[in-house]
Structure 1
Amino acid sequence: MSLLTEVRASLFEVIDPELGVNIMDLGLIYAIELDDNDNVKITMTLTTPGCPMHDSIANGVKYRVGQIEGVAEIDVNLVWEPAWSPDKMSDRAKEMLGFA
């Protein structure tokens, strides 16, 4: 399994504590980049700019990705554009939250 695939898979284990759904299915991850030195840059958003779980989720991402052997530095880039909306969620997340 490639390092990028491992990073992507690990993010399914990071749960938004308010919604109880992983951040991948919520559509909060916009990009995962891996450079030649195995540094990981994750561009993500949150469901709302004033989300009280901001630090908790970002720290959860850093912690979980940091557990992967071979990962060097981890940069979590939190962005607000494009804004998150429920249409970014996977069908599974929509079902879990009653959107389906």
Structure 2
Amino acid sequence: MTLEKENFKDQGFRILSTVIDPELGVDLVGLGLIYDVEVDETGLCTVTMTLTTMGCPLTDLLNNAISDALMAADEVKQVKINLVWEPVWTIDKMSREARVKLGVFY
């Protein structure tokens, strides 16, 4: 898969929309967990993200799935996960489709 660097953010989000949270059955982008995706000239792809809770037992599994998905892009040589807690994740960050799938109505 070849991605132009100037379009990498959009395509990176598209790639990460294939990574499913195994507990919730919804993709990480739809859950609103992915805040940013960037690739530099050396091929280092940095993903800024959060989790629904601190101490999530699936952190390693999700990190591996994110790395595997992004490494399929020709420009990506290495993936770095930048796990942040600000801004705090809330259900407001979820897409409409994710809220419907999880039965979250408000």
Structure 2 length-normalised TM: 0.86
Report 1:4-83 matches (<5 A). Answer: 4=8, 5-83=10-88
Q: Is the 8 A contact 1:14 1:64 kept in 2?
A: yes
Distance in 1, matches of 2:63 and 2:78, equals: 14
Superposition RMSD in Å: 1.4
Q: 1:2 aligns with which of 1, 4, 11?
A: 4
> Structure 2 stretches of 5 or more lacking a match?
none
State the percentage of identical aligned residues: 42
Deviation for aligned residue 1:6: 2.9
> Structure 1 stretches of 5 or more lacking a match?
none
Deviation for aligned residue 1:99: 1.2
Structure 1 length-normalised TM: 0.91
Deviation for aligned residue 1:2: 2.8
